[in-house]
Every structure is written in C-alpha cells, then in structure tokens.
Structure 1
Amino acid sequence: MLVGPALWAHQKGSSELKESEARAQYMAESTSQSSDPAKGEELRDLVQRFMASLAEFSRRLPFDVDLQKLCSITTLAALAITLAFAWKLLRTPPEQQRRQRRRPSSSPNLSINNLHSDTSLQSSEVCSSSGDSRAQCAVNEFFQPVELALEQLVRHKLNEGRKVTCRLLGVVLDETTPEELQKQATVRSSVLEVLLQIAKFCDVYLMERVLDDESGERVLSALDDSGVFTAGGLIRDKVLFCGTENGRISFVRQLEPDWHVDTNAEIIHQLTRFIKYLLHVTPDRPQNTASNVFISTSLEQFFGDLDQR
C-alpha cells in the first residue's frame, strides 16, 4: 500500500524527532552513570527545564514557530548543555577545597546587622560547599530571569520591523477625541521614552483626524514642546492629519508599515489583511482577534513588557 507524501513526511519527521530525543536521553543517562545518581538527576532536570523554557519563550514571540524544528534545535542545545555541565561537575576544584579547610569558624556573638550584611556571602559559600550544591546553584543562576533594557525589549517586540504608523489620540496624546484637540493637546509623558526608542529602529509616522487646521497646529506645538523632534527621533513632516477615519486607513495602506498602532477596532479589523502586525490599544480585551493583532492598554505597556501579548 502506497503512503502519501504528506503522511510519509509526517512519519519521517516523527522518527527524526524520536531519534533526537533518544540521543538526548542516552547522553543524559551515560553522563549520569559516570557520576553519582544525584548529579545525573540534576542534569536530567536541567535538560527538562531548559526545553520547557524554550517552549515557553517561543509562545511569547509575536510570530509562529515550527514546533518540530524547535524540538530538533532544543535537542541539540540540550546535548551541548549536558556536555558542558557534565564537564563542570566532573572537575574537582582543589583550590576551593583548600580554602574551605583554612576558613576559620564563625564567632558565636555576631550581631544581627552583620548577619544581614553577610547574607549574600553566606549564600555563595553554601553554593560552593559541595559538588551537588555547586550544580544546583549553576542551574538556578542559568534560569534566573534576565532584566532586559528598554531598548532590547523594543527591538525584540518590533521583530525586525522597519516602519511604524501610529495614531495620536489615546496613544501619544492624553486626549481621545478630535473635539478635545480644538481646545488643547497634551503629550503623555509616559510614552515619550518608548516612542523615541521605536524611532531608533523604525521610520515612524504619526497620524490623526482633526476637525480644523488649528487642531493640527496645536498637536504639532505639543509634540515640539515635548522634545520628540529635537531628540533626533521623530520628524515633523511625518506627522500627518486627515479629516476622516477612512483618511487614516488610506495613509496606512499607502505607507505599508510593518506595524500600525490604533485605538479604533474597526480600523484594526480593516487593516488586518494588509498590515503585518497591528497593535490595538484598548482597556478591554476583544475576543476572536486575528493572529497578527496584539492587544495592550498602552503603547508603553506593550513595548516595555516582555510577556505582553
């Protein structure tokens, strides 16, 4: 009986995945046999935690990941880490052992202040007391959460995007309606840093619907006073105004950005087929959104939080 190409490819992928997992299991078992059982358990735990961390990280990315390829890459990474930690565990640090033998006993009348100030030192000494604890400390340090700078977070979220269009009302400005712009325009201070970071990597266009020319001048004056034009990020000529919501849609489609940021759900829906990524800024959580639409309460919340979807 002939097997279809799709079924044959699926079976081939499954067999390769099983072979990779078998190699990883064999390497972990052989490494654990060369040391004591406790070290083997720690190595297996390390491999499992590493694979789980990669799977969790792949789910946070703003694009789809081929899970079969991820498993193959994860298996290779797990093998490399297993070998590295096996080499580290099998080493015997004689100098460290000699330092431990020469360490004087602690005085029994230490003050409470000294105990608090030496907490970090004592924890490091505990980590170096034996081979098993050294391995556990290495595992814990490896999986410690990494604090990324805002520039790194923005670059990660942009996902190699090079052009961004963004609505002003409700995103960059405190005002939420064109009628409010007839009276005043106020730039949100919390969004400035993120906006300038985005401008480092992308061509940024700001746009809004206004009811009169005076509203547009008021917006430009507020942006100028905030310093976004003099900071070397945004360009005054790339702040666009229109008289209708459809005019904003036309702007976006003509510019063809990688990202568009808006507060209008209908505009987000209409642009879903044409724009690679869309950020819907809203306090609510809309249901049944497209896979390329991201939801956040603000621009700075989305680009400043690694876990924000």
Structure 2
Amino acid sequence: MADNSKEDILQLIKRVGTFLTLKISNLSRHLDSRSVVAIAGIAFTVVFSWRLLRTPSGPQRRQPKRQTTTASTSGASGPASVNAASSGNNNPSEDSRTQNVIDEFFQPVKPTLGQIVRQRLGEGRKVTCRLLGVILEESSPEGLQKQATVKSSVLEVLLEITKYCDLYLMERVLDDESEKRVIMALEDAGVFTSGGLVKDKVLFCSTENGPMSFVRQLEPDWHIDSNPEIITQLARFIRYQLYISSVKLEQHASNVSTATSLEQFFGGV
C-alpha cells in the first residue's frame, strides 16, 4: 500500500509539472518572475494537499470473512465484495478533477492597462506626442482657433504613460489664443493632476517644421504623430514611432507601428 501511495504522488507531481509549465509560460508574458514563482508554489501546494487529503492515511485492515451458512448468502456476498474491492482503487475521474482544480486556479489573468503600456513601450522611457488627431479631437491648427477638445477615450492611457515615461506634448498653433485653449482643455481634463505631466512639457510652435525640430532635440525613444510626412522623415532618427490614423501608411519603416487611435494601440495586447 505504501508503494502505491508513493507511485500516486510521483504521478501527480509529473502531471502538475506539465500543467504548470504550460500555464506559467502563458502567464509569464504579463507577470514578473516573482509573481509567477509565487503563483506556481501556491498552486502546487493546493493541489498536492488536496490529493493527499483524498488518499487513505494508512493500510486498511482486512475484515475477517464470515462463514456463510447457506448458498444464497454466499451468492449475495459476491457483488458486495466486488464493490468493496473496486472502492479501494483510484477513481478514474480523479485525474480529470485534478486537472480541473489546476485549470480553475490558473484562469487567464487579464493584464492591467499599466502593464500593457509598459509592455508596449518596452524600455522606452521618453515619449513625444503630437496633440492634433491624437490627444485632441481637432485635426488642424485652424480648428484650434475655434475650440480645443480632449478625447475622453484617450485620458486613461495618457495618464498611464505619464506614470511610466517622461512625456512631452507638442503642437503647431496659429495664435496665442489657440495655445491658451489647448492648455485649458488639458487642465480641465485633469491631465496635469497626476503629477506626471506639467504645463512646461506642453510645447508650441508656429511653423510646420517646429514639431519635428522639437522631436530631434528631445531625442525620445518613442514619437507619436498623426502626420505621415513627419513620421516618414523621423524614421531614420527615432528608435520607435507610432502613426495614428484611420488610413495606414502604404510603405513605412520597420520601426513604425500604426493604429487608429492611441487607446487602440495600447488596448490590442
């Protein structure tokens, strides 16, 4: 009986090892190494303890056989003894239940937005980003002469980027009033409340080449823009770029990613 228990434990360890290898390989994409090790240890402990509790604690005593007095009594004891013998064997469904316990414990973990942002940006810690068409609803400097509207859908992503990166926003404006409208719109949206972005990091210029000059001077790891010409010209100088547009670039460098919006890029992991 002891040998059988040892064999059961060894088989369980092998099965658990196989399951953990498959599950952890998927989870490790979104969790750090310490979290994976901790989860693996907890899972193994739970499953191992659960199986031990189901295993008989010691050898069962054999009940003395009763002498049958009649043939009918002897015949009735046949099926009962078969059932008693079969109950001592492992239930065929135990393997399935073991796998179910492990699968329930390792339900897919949905990564947080912060984790997605860090995964997408990788080691990039400095980011420059155009306002028009990316952060703002307006798509031209002329539109800013009337109003400036921050996209509500982009706020959560923008705040997560400011927690992880040194972020600079920039745009070309035609007058001082447009600049004030943009700053006020960003302030009303709560962009400056997190502490990651300050007004001094919102840059304005009056020329078409101004934003490109800002990017070249700041030398970011990532630049985000809605202007295809700027994206193309900066491809040789910036490590990574993100082009935001509903129309994809026909030809672009390997270091340029495309998305219909900022939140779509960080929500597609």
* TM-score, normalised via structure 2 length: 0.67
Amino acid aligned to 1:189: S
Report the alpha carbon displacement of residue 48 of structure 1 after superposing the two structures with TM: 6.6
Match of 2:145 in 1: 182
Per-residue CA deviation, residues 248-289 of structure 1 (Å, 9 max, x unaligned), is 111001001111110111211111121121111111333443
Q: In the TM superposition, what are the counterparts of 1:1-309 in structure 2 within 5 Å?
A: 35=11, 53=26, 92-95=51-54, 130-141=93-104, 144-303=107-266, 305-307=267-269
Higher helix share: 1
* Contiguous gaps of at least 5 residues in structure 2: 1-6, 31-35, 58-90
Deviations 1:51-84 (A, max 9, x none): 6x599x69xxxxxxxxxxxxxxxxxx9xxx8xx9
1:236 to partner: Cα distance = 0.6
Partner amino acid for 1:93?
L
Report the CA distance shift for 1:144/1:273 in structure 2 as closer, same or farther (over 3 A): farther
User: How far apart are the structure 2 equivalents of 1:226 and 1:90?
Assistant: 52
Residue 301 of structure 1: SS of its match in structure 2? helix
Q: Return the offset for 1:136.
A: 2.1
User: How far apart in 2 are the matches of 1:299 and 1:47?
Assistant: 34
Contact 1:170/1:263, CA 8 A, preserved across alignment: yes
| Cα distance change on mapping 1:94 and 1:255 into 2, 3 Å | same
**Structure 1 Cα separation of the partners of residues 191 and 237 of structure 2:** 29
Count of aligned residue pairs for this structure pair: 219
Secondary structure of the 1:294 match is strand
AA aligned to 2:52 is: P
TM-score using structure 1 length = 0.59
Match of residue 118 from structure 1 = none
The gaps in structure 1 that reach 5 residues or longer are 1-30, 59-76, 99-127
Separation in 2, partners of 1:259, 1:207: 14
Q: Structure 1 residues 90, 221: CA separation in 2 closer, same or farther (over 3 Å shift)?
A: closer
Per the alignment, in what secondary structure is the counterpart of residue 209 of structure 2? helix
| Secondary structure at 2:159 match in 1 | helix
Distance 1:45 1:287 in 2: 44
Deviates more, 1:232-241 or 1:141-150: 141-150
Contact (CA 8 Å) 2:128, 2:169: kept in 1 or not?
yes
CA distance in 2, matches of 1:184, 1:146: 41
1:92 and 1:226, CA in 2 relative to 1: closer, same or farther beyond 3 A? Answer: closer
Cα deviation for residue 218 of structure 1 reads: 1.4
Three-state SS of the structure 2 residue aligned to 1:157 is helix
Return the offset for 1:242: 1.4
